[in-house]
Amino acid sequence: MKKISVIANWKMNPPTKKEAENLFSEAKKAKNKNCELIICPPFPFLYLGKGLSLGAQDCAFQKSGSLTGEVSPHMLKQLSCNYVILGHSERRRTFGESFDMINKKAKAAISSGITPILCVSEETKDELIAIDEIREQIQAITKKISFSKIIIAYEPLFAIGTGNPCPTYLAAKRRVLIKSIISKINQRAKDTPVLYGGSVDEKNCKEYIEEANFQGLLVGSSSLDPKKFKKIVESI
Ligand code: PEP
pLDDT of 128 reads 86
How many Cα atoms are found within 13 Å in the side-chain-facing hemisphere of 182? 27
Our answer on whether the CB atom of 142 is closer than 6 Å to any ligand 1 atom is no
Contacts of 16 (CB under 8 A, 6+ apart): none
Q: Phi, psi at residue 220, to the nearest 5°?
A: -95, -100
> Which residues, listed in sequence order, are joined to residue 4 by a DSSP beta bridge?
35
Catalytic residue among 90, 97, 122, 155: 155
> Is the Cβ–Cβ distance between 35 and 2 less than 8 Å?
no
pLDDT of 66 reads 98
Our answer on whether the CB atom of 202 is closer than 6 Å to any ligand 1 atom is no
> Is the Cβ–Cβ distance between 142 and 177 less than 8 Å?
no
Residue type, 205: C
CA 169, 171, 172, 176 dihedral sign is: positive
Q: Is 74 a catalytic residue?
A: no
Three-class DSSP category at 71: coil
Domain ranges of the chain: 4-235
pLDDT of 52 reads 97
Nearest CA-CA partner of 27 in 232, 199, 181 = 232
| 106: enclosing H helix or E strand | helix 99-111
With a cut of 50, which residues of the chain have pLDDT below it? Answer: none
| 73: enclosing H helix or E strand | helix 73-77
Our answer on whether the CB atom of 9 is closer than 6 Å to any ligand 1 atom is yes
Q: At what angle do helices 127-141 and 99-111 cross, to 10 degrees?
A: 40
What CATH number does the domain located at 4-235 have? Answer: 3.20.20.70
State yes or no: cis peptide before 193, omega within 30 of 0: no
Nearest CA-CA partner of 225 in 10, 53, 54, 16 = 10
> Which residues, listed in sequence order, are joined to residue 38 by a DSSP beta bridge?
7, 53
Nearest CA to ligand 1 atom 3: 220
